[in-house]
Structure 1
């Protein structure tokens, strides 16, 4: 029984396909033509400050003296001066800064950093002017305005801080910000401009800080202000891939928190297994059923049932499960909600039997007068009376019992044993059913919901939980016993009208659970990766098996943005791998990406004439043997890849959150552990030179030394990728990293150099400015025309709701009069 509504069902179906429409976030800026501006409301957080920081990127179409980049009344402004000069007004002082970089037609990263006794102007993190200064910023109620006063050009990445910004992460000049930025409490407003679907400009500060009471969302002027995609600043502010691996085999006990996912814009799921016959299959069960002539109903007889399948026996309708469904060896539970429309003696609720019914399992309708169900197991029949009623919903569960009741029929909590005419055999576990498929609702007129098939015997208490909609499901921050994954449950909820046979206890659903961590966010992709098998080199040497492999992979790519091959130990020229890539490219659906994973140690000799056919190559620069942890080894690997012939936009570099093997006295002691296994204690201090680090960990066999790449090392890797505009940086794996709330979380530190740009999607904003006096902008009649979309304030800072009778603020003889 479900209490979910149609909206939830539609949302879940959207999750199945939403990432397929995503692209990694694209960089947008503010485009201003003459007179265009953005009003960001009063910004009293700057009042009275002596230490604060202003950052922005700008690119002027023409260098017009007096053109304003940004301003706040008469107390703060940044304007273009004469050639190679900008003028700054702040803290009661007007001064100039000169740089040869101050020219039109060029993206310029500008920072004004003010401390208690001085103010500096930086261009690309280099100081070009220092001025002694002792005054504080005047208090004013004027609005913060971007543009206006003849500025024609583009502006990007405006950040206002209420303190001196630390240089620890190079002022974040060449990357964007996320909520983990160390000085978040000092961030007053942040305008990134990467929300092209929003009518106005989003202030990211309240997106990062949910406790923020106000915002500074900007209102675009009616003309002269718009967004524009940035295509010419990839060197200064690159938007690249930041990937993270996870593995479905450990999904139940991994408990990966949502914030870990959001630090990766490229989620790579190691979820497919290759086999020696050429086939590729999911790591974990993926038992979607085929539905014949079934009809989706939003609900039936009660709104407690939403997403119901209707079967009509006269139309030969049924649900056919894969052969892998229901193959018990020690126990089983088979259960469903069912409403029989017409009692048809001999019609099957469940049937998985051979043609002579000597082997297999089935549940069919018997005599209607006694409301009889007949369960047949390997030809032996067990009869149950007073079970289901025509026209009424009931929850039916069949499971092994004990003693005289070796088989139990449970109907909505009522336990019914087999009657006297039943077979006396107490062995109720079906024998081998290989080659057979389970059918549900064969020749039956009925409605079904919440059908579950287990190779596991559940207690009556557990069945009651299932009946009431409670089932142990994995999820972020939710750690379960990994053994649950292998109970081989198939769960048909019939919630997707276009995919009625979808298995909700499947690898595709694990993918959906991960995808839901990105709900409300944009800029991510989800890909599926194939694991190798022993002797895989021989497998792909067979032309027919390559075709089988490619066809299976194309099929399994259905719910993913792309595919990857993670085939280990590829020594020598990979001719056959190149031939396999050809087969995959020939059948992979349009729009899916295709990458291959390589190792740094030397196994990356993919055929040079085919390198550009693929979207990229994930280079694994880590391993249990060690030797890959230093930043020097990382850069040496990149140089080797370049020298072999890989273009930098195909090279996807990496780090690991797993450590090396553990060593005792220089000798192997145990397999790798995770970075989050406690090796980072309270007294841990990262190696500031970014070289490989070591730590110790103990068990009952001894104390081991492990080697790893620490947070500074990982930051430097991301910086190297950013500075060289390489394809991206990924890591293995999400499970073994520290929580993003920990300052030494590796993915968090990588994002400090190269942000993943997985941002909340904002389609509209409602300004909620701090109380202050709003800057008055006059029209030709000396009236401030109200924008119905903007928050407006009176002289006491009270919010004004515009009306047809309100004309604005009139200036008469220097006095402001409400009218």
Structure 2
């Protein structure tokens, strides 16, 4: 379950003591840790500051074997040193404050901590974490981040009564047939326990006395218990037994009754790690004198925050990751892991409430007959055969954005024609009604291809396009209707007819391939750009192993290699990029989807569309195991009326996704008057306190913008102030450039610098000192945290001019 609270921050620690060194002491940089623990509780002896905990550490040079040993179930105050050239993995735990489990073990390959035959004790709050670090190219600039999770559950009981003149006592409270001792496993953020239920008593609670009179409700203690499913079969049900006694009020003797009742499961999964379960019941005189059954109602809650004088809520450090920049190595792993909230900016709303993805998942389907996946044909492996009666459906996501058709693209494929069939489709997309359509088909005679937009056609001709051999065909469209044909990687254009349409019609319909075709297709491909010959040849020679590290190739919209095991698989989607990104993140970092602009206004204005959108957001979060969503709809006019349907959409989204997911909206000083009702349902509001106007950059304006949103009524603990990692032209023309470009061109020479001349234009930006000042002000105001746009436009975290590093220096309890 996605917890809707950020982790609690702990202060950084300096490690001082000495042990026998396992690694050669070359660079004399100690391995340090930054520990964060999830919500703690007052009901048991709590892990608060984690000054001491136990650590396992392994290392290797191949990022696979991890056969080198450093920390071996040792206190974090032991001293070891980084050694360049190695990959490191760490497992850590605390059984109460600095409690050691002698037989605990750690498998670095699977990132798994194991705690054999563990029995909870109320004075020991068991927490665990794993992490990794990379010293291959240099010493890490920050301590190892450890985000600890609670391994146990809590269970307690609350008894209510309406008795006024009597005294009620509850004694001998016991949970029976529950698991008390088990082996716990913490594996890369996932927790599971394996053990056998007790035959009788598993957990015993303190008595509750003097319930009644002025006190009509009283809770038992909460106990730490093993997380577990609650069986439903009669012989294995977990039960609670207790004795209730009533006295006083003129009674001649005490009335007593013993109960043993089933403990109902609070939901799917039973008692889960990190959650507290409170069972409530009402007891009155009739329950005892007339022997009525008492039924318990379980209530679920996250563990309470610890003492806020010792543990402050962790500040939000949020930033955006754009998929294309991630794929081209402009988003650095160490920068992502320095944040605790990442927004994967990849989607937009259609006007009808569907969700458009910049790199769509075009998993294809095929008609039941007429199309066959083939292991090999004439030297090519994994191909699709079309017999003229079937077709391939590539889904809705191609050849359009969220609001219009594309004005440029590339289509490419290998093709082997059994015979020439006039009108056979290489690809086509047509509106469900009307004349809007686009297609590339075989012409009436061999060697001729017909490209169509609506009623306009152009002929692309080449004598090599004939049956009986494998041919690579690529067609590009762009530059106001310019068409080019590439055959076997060579520019082979010969055109007739006119295409005066500068963009394809907007059609939210399927793209089809192969209708009427008799022959084979392999490595079919779409790209958002009109590629040149070099890129066309890269695609032609990829043999199913295409790299997306170049800017042009990362714009790939679909790539099917037709492997027989999964012939419809699209090899390049927002999901494949997301899953690769996940492998780079340390446990505990929230990864959310960003949904921006598109047809947001029309969608919000339609009750049916906004409800459809809300339901689609929920489906995306659940399907792809995301931690939440950020909405960046730019921009309503800055008045209550203009925000009306925006507010309703925000409320609809929260209603659909519930409170297990983190939900934020991104507003701007020129557009922030969302209703306070809508503000209540989001976890935080990020304020884009930056361009594109240069007058947004001075610190005085930043402060004024922060005070304006506070004056509107937004709570300060829901405000995340945004800063830019880019610059804008000082003359107000609103051209933008990445800060990364300024640094790479050696234009930044000081942390206090805020202006550069780049490509003949004067740009204003926030240098490192300005970022620190804005962050410091935000922290002094008690706001929730900081947001940046975006990680791709900053330099690496280890660089002396890194803006993210400057921000971190002003945020409490964060890696420095």
Residues 426-477 of structure 1: per-residue CA shift (max 9 Å, x gap): 338698985797532224565532113569877776544322118998856x
Q: Does 1:318 align with 2:385?
A: no
Residues 746-767 of structure 1: per-residue CA shift (max 9 Å, x gap): 2134345669999xxxxxxxxx
3-state DSSP of counterpart to 1:107: coil
Q: Does 1:565 align with 2:632?
A: yes
- Structure 2 partner of 1:583: 652
- Structure 1 partner of 2:801: 744
CA distance in 2, matches of 1:654, 1:428: 48
Residues 723-742 of structure 1: per-residue CA shift (max 9 Å, x gap): 96x65432112232122231
Range with greater deviation from structure 2 (305-314 or 560-569) = 305-314
CA distance in 2, matches of 1:451, 1:515: 23
CA distance in 2, matches of 1:21, 1:457: 41
Residues 325-354 of structure 1: per-residue CA shift (max 9 Å, x gap): 4999999865323466x7696683525499
Taking a change above 3 Å as real, the CA distance of residues 447 and 719 of structure 1, as seen in their structure-2 partners, is farther
TM-score (norm: length of structure 1): 0.52
Q: Does 1:678 align with 2:737?
A: no
CA distance in 1, matches of 2:49, 2:333: 35
Taking a change above 3 Å as real, the CA distance of residues 699 and 748 of structure 1, as seen in their structure-2 partners, is closer
- Is residue 657–residue 736 contact of structure 1 (8 Å, CA) maintained in 2? yes
Taking a change above 3 Å as real, the CA distance of residues 519 and 22 of structure 1, as seen in their structure-2 partners, is farther
- Structure 2 partner of 1:732: 789
- Structure 2 partner of 1:348: 424
- Structure 1 partner of 2:149: none
Picking from 687, 691, 694, the partner of 1:619 is 687
- Is residue 320–residue 438 contact of structure 1 (8 Å, CA) maintained in 2? yes
- Is residue 350–residue 363 contact of structure 1 (8 Å, CA) maintained in 2? yes
Taking a change above 3 Å as real, the CA distance of residues 318 and 611 of structure 1, as seen in their structure-2 partners, is same
CA distance in 2, matches of 1:598, 1:620: 6
- Structure 2 partner of 1:810: none
- Structure 2 partner of 1:656: 724
- Structure 2 partner of 1:337: 414
3-state DSSP of counterpart to 1:529: strand
CA distance in 2, matches of 1:518, 1:446: 40
- Is residue 317–residue 442 contact of structure 1 (8 Å, CA) maintained in 2? yes
- Is residue 316–residue 785 contact of structure 2 (8 Å, CA) maintained in 1? yes
- Structure 2 partner of 1:519: 583
Q: Does 1:199 align with 2:199?
A: no
The correspondence of residues 364-383 of structure 1 with structure 2, limited to 5 A, is 364=442, 375-376=449-450, 378=457
Q: Does 1:710 align with 2:768?
A: yes
- Is residue 492–residue 502 contact of structure 1 (8 Å, CA) maintained in 2? yes
Taking a change above 3 Å as real, the CA distance of residues 366 and 266 of structure 1, as seen in their structure-2 partners, is same
- Structure 1 partner of 2:366: 292
- Structure 1 partner of 2:665: 596
Q: Does 1:426 align with 2:496?
A: yes
3-state DSSP of counterpart to 2:649: helix
Please report how far the alpha carbon of residue 579 of structure 1 lies from its aligned counterpart in structure 2 after TM superposition: 1.1
3-state DSSP of counterpart to 1:744: coil
CA distance in 2, matches of 1:496, 1:526: 33
Picking from 374, 391, 394, the partner of 2:470 is 394
CA distance in 2, matches of 1:492, 1:399: 17
Please report how far the alpha carbon of residue 596 of structure 1 lies from its aligned counterpart in structure 2 after TM superposition: 1.2
- Is residue 373–residue 385 contact of structure 2 (8 Å, CA) maintained in 1? no
3-state DSSP of counterpart to 2:497: coil
The correspondence of residues 782-801 of structure 1 with structure 2, limited to 5 A, is none
3-state DSSP of counterpart to 1:442: coil
3-state DSSP of counterpart to 2:805: helix
CA distance in 2, matches of 1:414, 1:538: 44
CA distance in 1, matches of 2:373, 2:813: 39
CA distance in 2, matches of 1:446, 1:708: 58
3-state DSSP of counterpart to 1:577: helix
3-state DSSP of counterpart to 2:648: helix
- Is residue 325–residue 437 contact of structure 1 (8 Å, CA) maintained in 2? no
Residues 199-227 of structure 1: per-residue CA shift (max 9 Å, x gap): 37999786445679xxx9xxxxx999997
- Is residue 396–residue 409 contact of structure 1 (8 Å, CA) maintained in 2? no
Residues 144-172 of structure 1: per-residue CA shift (max 9 Å, x gap): 7767xxxxxxx7x646377xxxxxxxxxx
CA distance in 1, matches of 2:710, 2:666: 16
Taking a change above 3 Å as real, the CA distance of residues 474 and 719 of structure 1, as seen in their structure-2 partners, is farther
- Is residue 25–residue 757 contact of structure 1 (8 Å, CA) maintained in 2? no
- Structure 1 partner of 2:120: none
Gaps of 5+ in 2: 11-17, 38-44, 53-68, 95-107, 115-127, 145-180, 192-272, 275-302, 452-456
Taking a change above 3 Å as real, the CA distance of residues 701 and 52 of structure 1, as seen in their structure-2 partners, is closer
- Is residue 428–residue 439 contact of structure 2 (8 Å, CA) maintained in 1? yes
The correspondence of residues 487-506 of structure 1 with structure 2, limited to 5 A, is 490-494=558-562, 500=568, 502=570, 504=572
- Structure 2 partner of 1:70: none
- Is residue 341–residue 592 contact of structure 2 (8 Å, CA) maintained in 1? yes
- Is residue 386–residue 520 contact of structure 2 (8 Å, CA) maintained in 1? yes
CA distance in 1, matches of 2:663, 2:777: 25
Picking from 263, 285, 288, the partner of 2:338 is 263
CA distance in 2, matches of 1:350, 1:338: 9
Residues 175-206 of structure 1: per-residue CA shift (max 9 Å, x gap): xxxx9xxx999x99987549995237999786
Picking from 542, 547, 550, the partner of 1:469 is 542
Taking a change above 3 Å as real, the CA distance of residues 591 and 498 of structure 1, as seen in their structure-2 partners, is farther
- Structure 2 partner of 1:107: 48
- Structure 1 partner of 2:79: 160
- Is residue 294–residue 310 contact of structure 1 (8 Å, CA) maintained in 2? no
CA distance in 2, matches of 1:694, 1:718: 18
- Structure 2 partner of 1:243: 318
- Is residue 274–residue 280 contact of structure 1 (8 Å, CA) maintained in 2? yes
Taking a change above 3 Å as real, the CA distance of residues 752 and 450 of structure 1, as seen in their structure-2 partners, is farther
- Structure 2 partner of 1:809: none
Tell me the matched-pair count. 577
Picking from 21, 40, 49, the partner of 1:43 is 21
3-state DSSP of counterpart to 1:676: helix
3-state DSSP of counterpart to 1:729: strand
CA distance in 2, matches of 1:696, 1:408: 43
- Structure 2 partner of 1:529: 594
The correspondence of residues 91-102 of structure 1 with structure 2, limited to 5 A, is none
Taking a change above 3 Å as real, the CA distance of residues 313 and 745 of structure 1, as seen in their structure-2 partners, is same
Q: Does 1:697 align with 2:756?
A: yes
Range with greater deviation from structure 2 (734-743 or 259-268) = 259-268
CA distance in 1, matches of 2:565, 2:659: 25
CA distance in 1, matches of 2:804, 2:774: 12
Gaps of 5+ in 1: 1-19, 30-39, 60-103, 112-141, 148-154, 163-178, 217-221, 419-424, 687-692, 759-819
3-state DSSP of counterpart to 2:496: coil
CA distance in 2, matches of 1:248, 1:556: 17
CA distance in 2, matches of 1:53, 1:350: 58
3-state DSSP of counterpart to 1:697: strand
CA distance in 2, matches of 1:490, 1:669: 36
CA distance in 2, matches of 1:462, 1:707: 35
